Amino acid sequence: MPNTRSAAKRVRTSQKRRAYNRAIKSRVKTLIKRFEEAVQGGEKELAVERFRVAASALDRAAIKGVVHKNLAARKKSRMASKLASLS
């Protein structure tokens, strides 16, 4: 239980940020799963489109500070190598 007004505000702010960050992370994970499903199915055109969408979402999350930029780069790199193996 917060003891001061500023501590109470920090609690409210943290709850809002946590919900915002969780939503973005969940969306990114969903997009990556959809990409991997397309790769598993061998659908190259669909995989290329889903790679583009997932990479864009990762970049936006990294810019906003939800995920670290190196995590975004690593995930994009691994997705790109999976996409290349489809060729």
pLDDT tens for residues 36-59? 999 999 999 999 999 999 999 999
Express each pLDDT in 5-33 by its tens digit: 999 999 999 999 999 999 999 999 999 99
DSSP letters, 34-60, are HHHHHHHHT-HHHHHHHHHHHHHHHHH
Which residue from 32, 39, 33 is spatially nearest to 87, judged by alpha carbons? 39
Question: Rounded to two decimals, what is the model's pTM?
Answer: 0.89
